Structure 1
């Protein structure tokens, strides 16, 4: 096992891909909103992106605001940029507690699950991208208010994080039931390189471990959990996980190799980027993740 504890930062090199992909999504529909909001158009756009990238998997959803929008975030969808929060739905932690009373039965995550099911029925291998709690929260409320709540309203904040954790896990499990073969977990604005070690340790490290561990246990060998490299490195730096490189002798794409891992008894990997699915496995190393806490 490789145990890393210190100032290790995973370098993400795919930040510009979303704008390029957006141009492809535009070409798939006359109304760009439909590609982000309607299951049939989501599926069509995902298939077109797979073909354009010469990839081995279809990826859903097509943006990182689905969970936040399902919890009431005011999301702007237009042709200028990718979907994003217009403003903050909630101004205080007390207001944010309202998300616990939402009826999620007809929320946007259900459209995504329908799209996953549609593509799965058509024989596609699907990656379901899931966002972590801090990324979700930053579309709902000013992050500084969340950080202040660590000290001033910790019980309420813990209650909110626990609710979001359960929401994320339920979404992932239903995604696998709908046909997703890989659950890709990331929390772009909730990593140590953004929050700093002290805030990350108090705010996001424990809930991240809970989410990953519960997803792993509930999914079993039905799918693979792939943890973003930046999230993995954040946990490595705190000594909360270990990683072990997995040798893969076959000439295969990274995505193809990932799809085979559950049958080999591996269902939790990380320290790499899910956007490398079209890369050769030799240039995209696979690391099994072991949770220590």
Structure 2
């Protein structure tokens, strides 16, 4: 079986047999745009689509990951909703410096943004078109921020979590509203050429929300996103940070997506609970940052022998992560089964 990188990933998404697991780093929250890569470019890698596409291609070349993923941050959608963003540089990641709203009503009372024109959304779409035009056999992964993480990037998180108790109906309405934008943004990325959409919701952890709140506030939004993305013709990856073990029953409902987990989760045990849902992960990113290549290789080998469907970092990668460590990760996977 001699599969292209795109065919291999699509096969896993379709729950079909492959020669080996893909090894990817999706972009967005889970980006391998490290300082070692970014320092070779101007500081326009977050707002120039041509440079963004070039960075994505350099990441794949330097690390061996089997995909192209944009953007390289989780601030695009929050900026669209009025939050102020510092784009950083080759050594500092983009971050929110001022929230775009003080009340939930200030979010929902605005006209719904258009991803074709709002903020940096058109930059992401243009970068995807650039990548799609010249990479036929490599999967292109577009990224969106999950509803909880997006809303807590627009309004102060502590206020938001208090409102989950005091005004749950208003919270649900706000999450539904921002999900409307995420649906249209994901659809626009697919129309531009994205093969897969990765949804990262790092704030929607089991530790923060618990299963009851996750089921009430998060599951309906993720179900809608998964359904709309699949209807638009793309695959879906959903990443939840932290110890998602208490959320597995809720996550089982997302049967149309690959589920990506943090390093704290025992992936083989999660795989048993999730039955035939493909799982992805979960190489500890601290180990990728500071560990020895041999230790990384051994950890990857363990995941491979335990039948993990897609090998990937467990969470966001430090900008200071050495390229040799990322290459150690991908090399072991590509040799598996030979």
Please say whether Structure 1 and Structure 2 have the same fold, judged by a TM-score greater than 0.5: yes
**Residue 213 to residue 19, structure 1, CA distance change in 2 (3 Å):** closer
Question: Which residue of the partner structure matches residue 174 of structure 1?
Answer: 188
Secondary structure, aligned partner of 1:169: helix
1:69-99, Cα deviation, whole Å (9 max, x unpaired): 2222111112352111112221122222244
Structural mapping, 1:133-144, within 5 Å? 133-144=147-158
Residue in structure 2 matched with residue 200 of structure 1 by the alignment: 214
Structure 1 residues 125 and 189: CA distance shift in structure 2, 3 A: same
SS in 1 for 2:195: strand
Partner of 2:292: none
Q: Cα gap change, 1:118/1:275 in structure 2, threshold over 3 Å: closer, same or farther?
A: farther
What does residue 225 of structure 1 align with?
Answer: 236
Residue 141 of structure 1 and its aligned partner are, at CA, apart by 0.8
Cα 1:63–1:242 change in 2 (3 A) is closer
Q: TM-score, normalised by structure 1?
A: 0.71
Match of residue 191 from structure 1? 205
Measure, in 2, the Cα distance between the counterparts of 1:275 and 1:114. Answer: 31
Distance 1:158 1:64, change over 3 A: same
Aligned-pair distance for 1:157? 2.5
Task: String of CA shifts for 1:224-282, please: whole Å, max 9, x gaps.
Answer: 112226497564233752769x9xxxxxxxxxxxxxxxxxxxxx965313989xx7994
Q: Which residue of 2 aligns with 1:64?
A: 74
Q: Report the TM-score, using the length of structure 2 for normalisation.
A: 0.62
Pair 187,19 (structure 1): closer, same or farther in 2 beyond 3 Å = closer
Q: Is the 8 A contact 2:144 2:197 kept in 1?
A: yes
Aligned pair in 2 of structure 1 residues 270, 189: CA closer, same or farther (>3 Å)?
Answer: farther
Q: Which consecutive residues of structure 2, in runs of 5 or more, have no partner in the other structure?
A: 1-25, 259-275, 285-299, 311-338
> How far apart are the structure 2 equivalents of 1:149 and 1:46?
39
- Partner Cα separation in structure 2 for residue 209 and residue 137 of structure 1: 17
Q: Which moved more, 1:171-180 or 1:111-120?
A: 171-180
Contact 1:57 1:127 in 2 (8 A): yes
Please name the residue that 1:109 is paired with: 121
- Aligned to 2:46, the other structure's residue is in SS state helix
Partner of 1:212: 226
Number of matched pairs: 244
Any conservation in 2 of the 1:67–1:109 contact (CA below 8 Å)? yes
